Amino acid sequence: MANATQEFWDGFAHGYTRMELVNFQSGFTTFLLAKCTSPGARVLEVGCGSGIGTEITAQSLLSKEGSPVLVACDFSSEMVNLFKQRMEESDYPLI
C-alpha cells in the first residue's frame, strides 16, 4: 500500500523530468563524477527520479576500467517506470 509521500511522487513523476534537468545542470552530477575517479567505483543513487542524472552518470562512470557498479532506486513506482523506459532507450540496459 502506498503512503502519502509515495502517492505524491507517483502523481508528480511526469512533470518531474523538466525539474530534474535543472537540478542536474546545477552541478550534482559533476560533483558525483568528480568523486568517482577510482577504477571499480561503486555508486548507489537513492531517489533516482526519472533517471536523467543516472544516465549521465552511467555514460561517464561505466566507461571506466575496473568494472564499476551503478545502482539506482526510487520508491515511486511511476519514477521507476520512467527510469526503466529511459534506460531501455539508452546504451545502458537494466540488469
Contacts of 92 (CB under 8 A, 6+ apart): 55, 58, 59, 62
Structure confidence at residue 63 as a pLDDT band (50, 70, 90): confident
Report CA 23 to chain centroid distance, whole Å. Answer: 12
The reply to whether the predicted model has a pTM over 0.75 is: no
Q: Is the pLDDT of residue 25 over 60?
A: no
Structure confidence at residue 44 as a pLDDT band (50, 70, 90): confident
Residue (of 28, 90, 81) closest to 53 by Cα position: 28
Cβ atoms of 32 and 43 within 8 Å: the answer is yes
pLDDT value for 88: 86
* Residue 73, CA atoms < 13 Å, CB-side half-sphere: 5
